[in-house]
Structure 1
Amino acid sequence: MSHSNDNHQERSGPLAYMAGNSVAANLLMWGIIAAGLVSLTGLDREAWPTTPFYHIEVSMAYPGATPEEIEESIVVKIEDQVSGLDDVKAVKSVAAPGMASVRVQMDFDTDMARALDDIESAVNRIQSFPVGADRPSFKEMTNRMSMMRLIVHGDVSERSLKELAYQIENELTALPSVSQVEVSGVRSYEISIEVPLHRLRALGLTLTDIANTIRRSSLDLSAGSINTRESQVRVRTLGQNYDQQDFEEIVLLSGRDGTVLRLGDIAEVRDGFEEADLIVRHQNHPAVFVEIYRADGEQVMDVATTVREHLADQVIPALPDGVGVTMWNDESQVYEERADLLLKNGILGLLLVLIALSLFLEIRLALWVAVGLAVSGIGALAIMMAFDVAINTISLFSFVLAIGIIVDDAIVVAEYIQYERKRGTPGVTAAIRGVRRIKVPLTFAVLTSVVAFVPLLFIPGGVGEVWRALPIIMIAMLLVSLVESLFVLPNHLSHLHGPEWVPANAFDRFFARLQGRVDALLNRFVQGPLDRALQFATDQPAVTMAGAVGMLVLSISLLPAGIVPTTLAADVEGDIATVVLEMPDGATAPRTYEVAQELEAAGHRVIERLSRGRPGDAPPLLTGVTVTVGQGSRLGGGLNPEPTLNPQANIATIEFKLLGAQQREISTGEVVQAWREEVGVLPYVRGITFSGEVFDLGNPVEAVLSHPDPERL
């Protein structure tokens, strides 16, 4: 009777129920797998995480104004309005020729949508902006870049390139998988009107008179509506002028005899582009950029595939002679390469774990442990979906890192169950006893690891957003692994062979012999060197403590000595080597372009020198060159947002696109270093920055100087 009660008590409880019920255990396992696979279809995919800067920028154009005028009439007024708002941490402003940029830094974890509305309302209350200033624009600043950049280039007119780029933009926007496309690297259209001074004097007119006449003659007006018996007819006069001929036909003066003086009779009207210090060249040809963005919910691979197919089927065959479209960067390729690399590493790690386990444990046990690792990884996908974590380089790295941590959960459970089976305990009973013996220490071990990762969830700012996926995935895999090890794995291991089992086939005999040899070698090591080392450590505690302290001191000293470098996060190299040139203030765009061409020539010499040792049939190391005057680099940038400014004549960017990293032996860093050495010191430039990173966290140290007196500053 007592034996029956003990057996009944041993078979009670959720752990015993799951260990003895194959249907329930497998249902739980397949439920975890199903939840993960369903969540996988809804997870965003991106190469790098989108990082919020907790900055909101208010930009405002004031054509023709000096920085001093913009500071007094725009910047100071905006600063006064926004500095007193809730959650505002700091306000930084830039007054540049023709442009004002006010960046409002918010406290971490601020509701940015609400903050954007508050700032917009505060700025719109200002009624004293200059008459000639444009309306202010507002945006939240992030590290978000276009996932694809197309370059439309060729020896055709600037207008033709721009119109072709806008045509491509309209076609791509109409595709079902693409929602946001923008054209950049172009100057805005402008109608310029020049009237000689002697003609104005002869007619008794001023430029203000002509400007007022043009303003009155170029607009659309609503004239109300007319109600008829059947319907209401809206009346509207259409007079907005758009092209050169429309403006030339504007009547300035009219005589009583019916003669009229039109604008085209006394003025030169040109339909062209605004005078902006912007030069874009690709392979020494004029170029325009078409930027393709991925909206929330859109998959990077779906967008990229749709764009590539449309380019190949529709755009490229219809291009005029002398015009080409080049795919300059494609985030989907970066995502695919990084994902493939990390997945291969993950599979390799899983395989190594399986091989290591099979050397010491029964092969079926090792297989079920490996299955448990896979189930934990798939189950973590559902947690990622719940916390809105995307699949990117950081999250994939987290999965690879977690494999080496969670494998211990399944191993300790498997060892205890195998120990019970070797003692002759029946399968289900062995599984129940084994999992019950380890459940408390295993649970506390997992919870201890979870607690270790919890602080990473509260890292503030952009760095916390970059690494947010790491603690979420690690905690998710630890908890799912705990559930799988306690409620699923024991049932699978209840079918292990007992002590009476004899290998019946060549496969089992091979692993039995292999495990016997490994076990003998391990016992020899344990009974020999390890036992003597432990005996020495026990007999000589002073020597042991001195050695431990010495190792600790040596390890700590490696950091200040610089032998072990320290960094917040390692820079990630891309396939584009970039040089940002800054000339002294006052340099013209043509002069900046001349110096940029010198840097480009130095880069070509470096590529030629590095290509000499490559095989003759190898693809070229350099696949394209883009030079932009007026804009800085859009890659990298760290966690410090750059202000929105008009094109600056003293800034240029030279980009060398290299062969894919998988196809070349030379790293981007080596190309950048050789380029830096080839350029040397240029005394007539203010600064040159070389970079080969596609993602970084910015400069280690940045200093900002401020003083009320600009002259003293």
Structure 2
Amino acid sequence: MNIAQFSVKNSVLVNLLMIGLFIFGGLSLLQMPTELNPEINFNWVFVNVFYPGASPTEVESLIIDPIESEIQDVDKIDEIQSTAGEGLAFVMVKFEDISDSEFREKFTDLKAEIDKVNLPDGAEDPIIDDFGSGDFLPVITVNMAYDIPEDNAQKIADELEEDLLDLAGVAKVQVSGLAEREIWIEVDPAKMNAFNITFDQIILALASRNLNIPGGNISIGKTEYLIRSLGEYQSIEEIENTIIRAPRGRFGNGIAESFVKIKDVARVNDRRAELSILSRLNGTNSITFSVSKNSDANSMDVIDGIKLMVKQYEDTVPDGIIFSFTNDNSVYITRTINVLRNNAATGMILIFIVLYFFLGKGNALLASLGIPISFFITFVLLHAVGYSLNGNTLFALVMVLGIIVDDAIIVLENCHRYRLQGYSSIESAIKGTMEVATPILASIATNIAAFLPLILLPGIMGKFMRIIPIVFSLALLASMFEAFFLLPSHYADWTIKSKTFKRGDRKFFIAMRRWYGHFLVKILRRRYLVLLLLFLVWISSFGIIKLVGVNMYGEEDFDQFFVLVRFPQGTSLEESNRIMKKMETEAVAMRNDWHVQDVVTNVGLLQGNEEWVTAKHVGQLIIQTVPSEEREVSIDAILEELRGRIEHISGPTSVELEKISGGPPVGKPISVKVQGRYFEDIKAASLALQDSIHNMEGTKEITDNFPPGKQEIRIVVDEEKAAMYGFTTQYVAMNVRYAFDGADATEYRDGDKEVDVIVKYSSFNRSSLDDVLNLRLTNLSGQTVAMRDMVHFDIAPGPTAINRFDQKRTIMVTGNIDENKTSLEKVNGAMSKLFPGLEEKFPGVTFKIGGQFEEFANAFKDIGMLFGLGIILIFLILGTQFNSYAQPLIILTTVPFALIGAMLGLLISGNPFSIIAMFGFVALAGIVVNDAIVMIDFMNRRRAGAKTTVLQSWRSIVNSGTLRLRPILLTSLTTISGLIPMAMGIGGQSGMWSPLANVTLYGLIVSTILTLFVIPCLMAVLDDLKGVRKKARLV
């Protein structure tokens, strides 16, 4: 008993199974997490080490060098990037494309190696995080603008931060514009010297006083008591009254010694820390909360919870508090789902119309039923393995929408052909299904063979796109199950002869077949000329590539863009803020006429697609527009309008306007690593490169990540003099740091809050160089010595940041291009030609292209290799099916001709050649061979068991072509109908996915037309080569 017989004889089981699939599929769909993008682990590790008061050079030598040396032997590391900044070391470790489980092992190994590093005194413990798309990137940013006293706003912000962290699914909350509470012990150096008190004594007194120590247990009578020594601070007054030293006699100056307390030498100040980042919303001071979720949490649920909480706050906070949201992923998720859902719904309607016209109402309903069944089976499988419902998942379903009905169409068309010959419904279902089972299996196998190898695509791109071939393959396998197991029973039970189908078969299709048959005979007579012309057309189509732009992921309108501003090194936060207000004013003025919804200003923070910098000399505007469907102008037009309004503002060294990029991070269009040993040489080489790039047409916003450093006061301790006075070099240097940057002495617990207690000079005593030189230290003998007696100093510019790549000092030269004037390939090609001359001019300096061009080149190579693997798999499948070497090659000729249509599709639609479009080329390889498989299979059936003559050879070609004309047109038209909405933007436009849809759509249109004529011609040529007919003879 074959599968079709089992299906028609167990109709109740089939129907119950179908109902179960609808129920479990629906439940799975409802339970799947909803995300914008797939949850992926980038295999990146971030290491941050804070070293307050240290210069970038010190951070490089004392922290980054030891860490890089220790971790370089950890297996599977791909590259190491590091930055030494003022008081901060940042190391990013990128691992190779390894599994998540192996990455967790390597992450543990990496932490163990970092723990071995002997960090300098004063450096904080390393903060080590792995970078994942789910628990690192914020899903929404809450902006709280306030026009009330700052202390009141800070209190509300503290409460909101705590409440946000308590929400289910929230992993972390990054707060900007909120100053942490601190307790400053501001020491008066004159009083400290008068009492012969040192910084170390003050710090030790605070730390040793602020303790609760358990003392064990004691039994008194029948009761056992717990003993605890209570010493933790309960108030600020207790801190002020902390005893530094008890009485021991008289000081050397004759003053009678008494208790020396903190309040005797310092002022205790309960205050907020100095803000390092200023935030405003539409010109009003604000506090921002960037909220990230746990990797297993549902983005929509988390965001809904956040919005509900903020709504509750809005009902209770005083007047003067305004909340708004930016970077709201729920907007993009909803829009993406709506667009793809509308594309799918429109595609299904078009597919049904095509099926109705070709097959009649009954058969159209049966074929269309395969779409939801296949989708629900796919949902069950995806939910079972833990995948989310995201843009990539939905796109794969929309893409496969028109393909999953192909096997049902072939089955139904063949079953109905038997029905018209007088067979019963059951006989027609069984015979019709089993006769086309082999070509359907081959067709689905070739589709999967072309697309499934893409799961092997390495790197971040592979992880980001991997779900697409998985969903594509699962949906096709589900459709095959539906066509072989469910459809025969449904056809036998439900189908009736369709008058529309029958009438169309006798009139329209008979006429079409007759025309096609006559024209095919004419084409076959001139087959060599036809093939030569098509080959020349194919060769000339390569010129289209130069007319199509290149973009990594296509252009997606995210209703938001950044203005990234850099000022000269050494610029104060106040000066940066003054200039940022000018830009902010221009942006806020666009709220009325340019669809700008909100303007968020950050001073001291720069956070684009590729970087995150906190420094006094940087700032940014985040421009949030109204949703794209509610505005008449594009995000590009708004961006360029703002550019024109702010370009006259003087002060910044660079101003970049940057849109949010779709997909994972890939770098900028222009990105060059300039590496060497000495920064003087690297900087000179990078400036020479920038000058050359500036002269290239279409380049803009050229800059580097190594601006001039700010002035440093370099204090050098005279080791001999310090030793003569009884001090070590380390002791002298640490006291300089204590005096000016401060030292964390202990923590004051206020309720459930822990507040840092910091000891430092009072602001009055740390405002000049003389204050450094007048700092007096007391040795063990009680002798006080001025700092100027043990040190000398010089003033020189020092680097603000030192960047390294794979342990080499590196300057990154970056920039953007105007795609209307130049291309990614043209600019990077021109830069490559500059490198030999620059390397000769600057010995020891090397140049390497990175960024988008490197990523695109790597992706093109990887996808090209996997495309080749897919072609080999298709050939193996077809060779096995047809038991031939030549016929699979004939079928595969449809692929290069489909590429003609694909490139035309990009040109006509105006879409760029992107990585997403490459996936369309790969998908085409599996899709376009389907029609040729069916046609050649029927040709072989016509010839089976008979002696092939010239006449029979031609008749088999023409008859097979005319007989399979309808299913070929029908399967192609349904696939085309499923893609039209996405390609044309019917129901909503997706800049990311539209190129892929256009590639597949136009490639399929061209390949379908050519298949009807090229395959017969090639089969005739194959017959010629076999000697079946003489080339000179005409029929």
Distance in 2 (alpha carbons) for counterparts of 1:102 and 1:229: 61
Report how far residue 521 of structure 1 moved: 4.0
**1:623 equivalent in alignment to 2:597:** yes
Deviations 1:230-252 (A, max 9, x none): 66544333434486544322233
The amino acid across from 2:583 in the alignment is: L
What is the count of residue pairs matched by the alignment? 668
The equivalent of 1:383 in structure 2 is 381
C-alpha separation in 1, matches of 2:236 and 2:58: 32
Deviation at 1:63, TM superposition (A): 0.9
Matched, 1:307 2:306: yes
Deviation at 1:491, TM superposition (A): 1.2
Q: What residue number does 2:458 align with?
A: 460
Deviation string, structure 1 residues 161-212 (Cα, Å, up to 9, x no partner): 333222123334445x444352411343332232233222322333333333
The alpha-carbon deviation at position 112 of structure 1 amounts to 2.4
| 1:692-711 equivalent positions in 2, closer than 5 A | 692-693=659-660, 695-696=662-663, 697-698=665-666, 699-700=668-669, 702-711=671-680
Partners of 1:229 and 1:39 in 2: CA distance: 65
Separation in 2, partners of 1:277, 1:631: 9
Q: Offset at 1:370?
A: 0.8
Instruction: Note the 1:557-596 alignment, pairs <5 A.
Output: 557-559=543-545, 561=546, 563-596=547-580
1:200 maps to a residue whose letter is M
Superposed displacement of residue 677, structure 1: 3.5
For 2:131 and 2:272, how far apart are their aligned partners in 1? 29
Residue 182 (structure 1) aligned with residue 173 (structure 2):
yes
Please say which of residues 315-324 and 440-449 is displaced more in the overlay.
315-324
After superposition, the Cα gap between the structure-2 partners of 1:478 and 1:95, relative to the gap in structure 1 and judged at 3 Å, is same
2:145–2:321 contact (8 Å) kept in structure 1:
yes
Given candidates 34, 40, 51, the residue that maps to 2:29 is: 40
Q: CA deviation at 1:258?
A: 10
What residue number does 1:101 align with? Answer: 90
Structure 2 Cα separation of the partners of residues 554 and 680 of structure 1 = 44
Distance change (3 Å), C-alpha of 1:675 and 1:242 = farther
**1:125 is the counterpart of 2:116:** yes
Alpha-carbon separation, structure 2, partners of 1:231 and 1:112: 55
- One-letter identity of the residue aligned with 2:55: T
8 Å CA contact 2:588, 2:599 repeated in 1: no
Q: Which stretch of the first structure deviates more once superposed, 257-266 or 199-208?
A: 257-266
Query: In the TM superposition, what are the counterparts of 1:259-338 in structure 2 within 5 Å?
Result: 260-312=259-311, 314-338=312-336
Q: What is the DSSP-based 3-state SS (H/G/I as helix, E as strand, rest coil) of the residue aligned with 2:557?
A: strand
Q: Which residue of 1 aligns with 2:414?
A: 416
Shifted more, 268-277 versus 652-661: the winner is: 268-277
Partner secondary structure for residue 54 of structure 1: strand
2:58 corresponds to which letter in structure 1?
E
Q: Structure 1 residues 279, 179: CA separation in 2 closer, same or farther (over 3 Å shift)?
A: closer
CA distance in 1: counterparts of 2:539 and 2:662, whole angstroms: 35
User: Quick check: 1:577–1:690 contact (8 Å CA) kept in 2?
Assistant: yes
Deviating more after overlay: 128-137 vs 286-295: 286-295
Task: Tell me, yes or no, if structure 1 residue 213 matches structure 2 residue 202.
Answer: no
Provide the secondary structure at the position in 2 that maps to 1:292. strand
Quick one: distance in 2 between partners of 1:242 and 1:628? 37
Tell me, in whole angstroms, the C-alpha distance in 1 between the residues paired with 2:584 and 2:191: 48
Contact 1:90 1:106 (8 Å CA) reproduced: yes
Residue identity matched to 1:77: P
The whole-number CA distance in structure 1 between the counterparts of 2:65 and 2:223 is 52
Q: In structure 1, which of residues 380, 393, 401 is the aligned counterpart of residue 391 of structure 2?
A: 393
Shift of the 421–548 alpha-carbon distance from structure 1 to 2, 3 Å rule, reads same
Q: 1:527 aligns with which of 514, 518, 523?
A: 514
Identity percentage of aligned residues: 22
CA contact (8 A) 1:584 1:685 kept: yes
| Pairwise CA distance, 1:456 | 0.9
TM-score by length of 2: 0.61
In structure 2, the CA distance between the partners of 1:51 and 1:517, relative to structure 1 (3 Å rule), is same
Q: Distance in 2 between matches of 1:484 and 1:230?
A: 79
Cα distance in 1 for partners of 2:215, 2:493 equals: 88
The equivalent residue for 1:602 is 586
Letter in 2 for 1:292: V
Distance 2:222 2:506 in 1: 99
Determine if contact 1:54/1:461 at 8 Å carries over to the other structure. no
SS at structure 2 position matched to 1:632: strand
Matched, 1:686 2:686: no
Alignment of 1:659 with 2:643, yes or no, is: no
- The reply to whether residue 649 of structure 1 matches residue 616 of structure 2 is yes
C-alpha separation between the residues in 2 aligned to 1:657 and 1:683? Answer: 24
Deviations 1:654-682 (A, max 9, x none): 01211122211222222113223433376
Change over 3 Å in CA distance of 1:26–1:384 after alignment to 2: same
Aligned mates of 2:225, 2:128 — CA distance in 1? 38
Indicate which of 7, 14, 26 corresponds to 2:3: 14
Distance 1:688 1:198 in 2: 47
Q: Where does residue 359 of structure 1 map in the other structure?
A: 357
Of 328-337 and 242-251, more deviation after overlay is shown by 242-251
- Rg comparison, structure with higher value: 2
Identify the match of residue 556 of structure 1 among 539, 542, 545: 542
The whole-number CA distance in structure 2 between the counterparts of 1:309 and 1:592 is 36
* Offset at residue 271 of structure 1 (A): 2.2
- Counterpart residue type for residue 482 of structure 2: E
Which secondary structure state, in structure 1, belongs to the residue aligned with residue 679 of structure 2?
Answer: coil
Distance 1:231 1:498, change over 3 A: same
- Tell me if 1:543 matches 2:542: no
Are 2:348 and 1:350 equivalent residues in the alignment? yes
8 Å Cα contact 2:371-2:405 kept in structure 1: yes
AA of the residue aligned to 1:630: G
Question: Please, what is the CA RMSD of the aligned residues?
Answer: 2.7
Q: Is the Cα contact below 8 Å between 2:602 and 2:619 reproduced in 1?
A: yes
| 1:359-508 correspondence runs (5 A) | 359-495=357-493
d(CA) in 2 for partners of 1:155, 1:255: 51
Q: Is the 8 A contact 2:363 2:495 kept in 1?
A: no
Q: Which residue of 2 aligns with 1:115?
A: 106
Distance in 1, Cα, partners of 2:5 & 2:669: 55
Change (3 A) 1:631 1:240: farther
Aligned mates of 2:297, 2:407 — CA distance in 1: 37
Q: Which residue in the other structure is 2:132 paired with? A: 142
Structure 1 residues 652 and 50: alpha-carbon distance in aligned structure 2, compared to 1, 3 A threshold: farther
C-alpha distance in structure 2 between counterparts of 1:79 and 1:222, whole Å: 42
Deviates more, 1:669-678 or 1:438-447: 669-678
Equivalent-residue separation in structure 1 for 2:223 and 2:174 (angstroms): 42
The one-letter amino acid paired with 1:695 is G
The CA deviation at 1:103 is 1.5
Give the alignment partner of residue 675 of structure 1, picking from 636, 642, 662.
Answer: 642
For 2:507, give the aligned amino acid: A
Distance (whole Å) between structure 2 residues aligned to residue 691 and residue 232 of structure 1 = 68
Residues 112 and 140, structure 1, Cα contact 8 Å, conserved in 2: no
Closer, same or farther: CA 573–243 of 1 in aligned 2, 3 Å? farther
Q: What TM-score do you get using the length of structure 1 for normalisation? A: 0.87
Q: Secondary structure, in 3 states, of the residue corresponding to 1:404? A: coil
Report the residue type matching 1:201 in the other structure: N
Q: Give CA deviations for 1:82-118 in whole Å, capped at 9, x if unaligned.
A: 1111222222211110111111221111422222211
Change (3 A) 1:496 1:194: closer
Paired with 2:223 and 2:93, the residues of 1 have a C-alpha distance of 51
Select which of 155, 169, 176 maps to 1:163.
Answer: 155
C-alpha contact (below 8 Å) 1:57/1:140 kept by paired residues? yes
Q: What runs of 5+ residues in structure 2 fail to find an aligned partner? A: 249-255, 683-1035
Instruction: Name the SS for the 1:572 alignment partner.
Output: coil
Residue in structure 1 matched with residue 826 of structure 2 by the alignment? none
The answer (yes or no) to whether the contact 1:188–1:273 under 8 Å persists in 2 is yes
User: How big is each residue's C-alpha offset from its partner over 1:410-448, in whole Å with a ceiling of 9 and x where there is no partner?
Assistant: 110110111111111101111000001011110111011
